[in-house]
């Protein structure tokens, strides 16, 4: 009963290739995120979607394009992969605003997927 799942778990590819990472959450959350964690464990937000609408778009190269077909899924496509793209990519979700649930820490907690370890050779 995985709450936030990502595929694939590992991805090894050559420079210049195009690859996609998929994320799905079965928590009924409204908001989803993509983060990048570098080799020094620094975690930085890349994108966020709320009900399929892009709400956060950090300074990320245009080669990265998120897509949310529905509010339970947020995919990340990366074109022309570069060595510097090697990292662990985490998807996360959050209940978010605009629901009938109580306002509280539960609504503001982010739930993370297990990560996708991308290695570009």
Where along the sequence are the contacts to another protein (CB under 8 A)?
4, 31, 40-45, 48, 50, 55-56, 90, 92, 94, 96, 105, 108-115
**Residue 56 CB, nearest approach to another protein (Å):** 6
Identify which of residues 45 and 72 has a Cβ nearer to another protein in the complex: 45
**Residue 110 CB, nearest approach to another protein (Å):** 6
Provide DSSP, 50-117: ETTEEEEE-S--TTEEEEEEETTEEEEEE-S--GGG-EEEEEEEE--SSSSSPPSHHHH--EE---EE
């Amino acid at each position: 009963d995985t709450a936030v799942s990502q595929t694939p778990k590992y991805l090894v590819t050559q420079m210049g290739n195009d690859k996609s990472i998929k994320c799905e959450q079965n928590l009924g959350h409204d908001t989803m995120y993509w983060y990048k964690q570098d080799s020094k464990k620094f975690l930085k937000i890349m994108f966020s979607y709320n009900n399929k609408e892009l709400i956060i778009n950090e300074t990320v190269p245009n080669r990265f394009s998120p897509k949310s077909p529905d509010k339970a899924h947020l995919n990340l496509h990366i074109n022309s992969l570069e060595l510097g793209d090697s990292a662990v990519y985490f998807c996360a979700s959050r209940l978010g605003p605009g629901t009938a649930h109580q306002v509280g820490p539960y609504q503001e907690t982010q739930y993370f997927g297990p990560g996708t370890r991308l290695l570009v050779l």
